Structure 1
Amino acid sequence: MNDDVLNMSLRKFLKKVGVTSQREIENAVKAALESGRLKGNEALKAEVRLTIPEAGLDVVIEGAIELE
């Protein structure tokens, strides 16, 4: 295993995850606000599941996204 290759590959993957996740969350929140499902002062529970079956990884990361 080449640690430098792994590190760069991880950074590229995490950047993609971060950018895509932010865009999707923003779009979903805006749509929910426009439809009235959200008021705009909530703290939204969020979770992400990260899996890499070949490495035996299956972890859920929990957090909250505050709107105000």
Structure 2
Amino acid sequence: MDEEQFNMSVRKFLKTLGVTAQREIEKAVRDALDSGRLQGDETLKAHATVKVEGIELKIDTEGDIKLS
């Protein structure tokens, strides 16, 4: 295994995941604020799952997204 290539591939995947997730969360929150479904002072529960095929890896993580 090429450790450098592996490390770069993992970092690229995680960067793409992070950027995409942040963009989509921000858009969904703005849309919910605009439509009145959120007031802007909530704390939202978030849950994410990452799966890697071939090694049967599944990572679940949870956290809070505070709007104020």
The one-letter amino acid paired with 1:44 is: L
When normalised by structure 1's length, the TM-score is 0.94
Query: Equivalents in 2 of 1:55, 1:3: separation in Å?
Result: 17
Counting matched residue pairs gives 68
Q: Does residue 44 of the first structure (1) align with residue 12 of the second (2)?
A: no
**In 2, Cα distance between the equivalents of 1:47 and 1:54?**
23
Aligned residue runs from structure 1 range 1-68, under 5 A: 1-68=1-68
Give per-residue Cα distances to partners, 1:7-35, cap 9 Å, x unaligned: 00011111101111110000000000111
TM norm structure 2: 0.94
**How many Å apart are 1:53 and its aligned residue?**
2.4
- Take 1:53 and 1:11, find their aligned partners in 2: how far apart are those partners? 17
What percentage of residue pairs aligned between the two structures are identical? 51
User: 1-side partners of 2:26 and 2:57: how far apart?
Assistant: 28
Structure 1 or 2: more helix by fraction: 1
Q: Tell me the amino acid that sits aligned with residue 13 of structure 1.
A: F
1:46 is matched by which residue type in structure 2? Answer: A
Unaligned runs of 5+ in 2: none
Q: Distance in 1 between matches of 2:7 and 2:53?
A: 19
Residue segments in structure 1 that go unaligned for 5+ positions in a row: none
Runs of 4+ aligned structure 1 residues displaced above 2 Å come to none
